[in-house]
Amino acid sequence: MERAPQRNPWVWIPTLYFGQGIPYFAVMALSVVMYKNIGISNAEMAFYTSWLYLPWVIKPLWSPVVEMFGTKRGWTVALQFVVGVALALVAFTTHLPSFFQMSLAVLWLMAFASATHDIAADGYYMLGLSQKEQAAFVGVRSTFYRLANIAGQGGAVALAGILIARTGDPHLAWAVVFGVLGAVFVLLCAWHFFVLPRPAEDVKAHVEGNPLKEFFGTFASFFKRDGILVIMGFLLLFRLGESQLLKMAVPFLLDPAEKGGLGLDNTELGVVYGTVGVIALTLGGLLGGVLIARFGLKRCLWPLAFACHVPGLVFVYLSTVLPQNIVLISAMVAVEQFGYGLGFTSYLMFMIMVADGPHKTAHYAICTGFMALGMMVPQMASGQIQQWLGYQHFFIWACLATIPAFAMTALVKIDPAFGRK
């Protein structure tokens, strides 16, 4: 069969990772704002929405299936259609009597489809680019992934705020938001059906002998690698503090001053956190990718680890001073998000380095599963911890919880040439 001509990565990487971001942020961020608007408590909201991380935690269990059957391109396009349908289904649940339970069920479906899509799309990315191109484009993929965040936490939250102000009905507002997102995602699916290239390496795997042996052998090869305990520790603990801060940032910005928050409305939240913050996050991610491509992961790891975690102190400041100046709040959020975006590129490249090899799709999925577990468990407790401590002491705790990340950074071993080849 004649191969289709290879397209410039700029044609497909931006839209692929914009599409990867939409369902993730819908599940993990928009659901938080939606349930907050409806009056769900911080503890209940944090507990149930954190469980939605589970598909990303356990996706390594079926990642070999994606590698063994079909092509990464085929999986990617098919799962984008499923996600588009799931987004539309959330809109239909908003006026049901059991809205909370039904919307969570649909979000679970979306989370499983999105997690599986991540396996295929990330594997497709690694098949189509060299190591140097992967390092160069890691900032680009992160940028467009975060632009999906702007569309979600910025545009979608602001739209919901406008509709709530005009109609007084948060259920109707969120039905419109999820309906629009569903339509956008179906259009992305159609675009990728036509424009995604067909790398020579993206072929249906040839499984010799027992498929179950191949399935379990893929897992065994990951856990037999040198330094696996340190690798697992880094993946699990690098985001211990940041994960908790991330879950409580939006409730803090929305809660009134008498509850220790800043009292923003949805529209202000969309501007401050979903637009200004995400633009800063995006710029940080682009710079991080450039630095790693120029100097290599080994030389960049420590500086980027500090960049990722130290700016979290701005939330300690915000929760202590409780400023009302929207420009100051935006600037503080921008500082924290820029540092996080800058530092997170090192984490992404570390996972790419660990996954490199004959089973890179499945092994990268295993890495992201550990990453999701390191996010899910701390976030499940974050709402209760915040209610015990209050916002100010909670953010101090979240900053102290970054100490294990620095300990694991000191222990991991990095190939000096990785990211520059």
Q: Where are the domains of the chain?
A: 9-199+213-409
| Residue with the two structure tokens 């179906």 | 186
* Cβ atoms within 10 Å, residue 334: 22
The pLDDT assigned to 210 comes to 63
Cα–Cα dist 5/227, whole Å: 40
Tokens of 202: 């993206």
The parts of the chain modelled with pLDDT lower than 50 are 1-5
The pLDDT assigned to 263 comes to 93
The pLDDT assigned to 357 comes to 78
The pLDDT assigned to 1 comes to 35
Tokens of 281: 């996050």
Which residues have C-beta within 8 Å of that of residue 204, sequence separation ≥ 6? 69, 70, 71
CB 27 within 8 A of CB 52: yes
* Cβ atoms within 10 Å, residue 390: 12
In degrees and rounded to multiples of 5, residue 227 shows phi and psi of: 70, 25
The pLDDT assigned to 111 comes to 93
Cα–Cα dist 79/71, whole Å: 12
Architecture per CATH, 9-199+213-409: Up-down Bundle (1.20)
Q: CB burial class (10 A; 0-12, 13-18, 19+) of residue 173?
A: buried
The pLDDT assigned to 63 comes to 74
CB 248 within 8 A of CB 233: no
Q: CA neighbours within 13 Å on the CB side: how many for 129?
A: 24
Read off the DSSP letter of residue 401: T
Cα–Cα dist 395/252, whole Å: 10
Cα–Cα dist 124/101, whole Å: 35
The pLDDT assigned to 270 comes to 81
The pLDDT assigned to 130 comes to 67
Q: Provide the residue type at 185 as one letter.
A: F
CB 236 within 8 A of CB 373: yes
The pLDDT assigned to 204 comes to 65
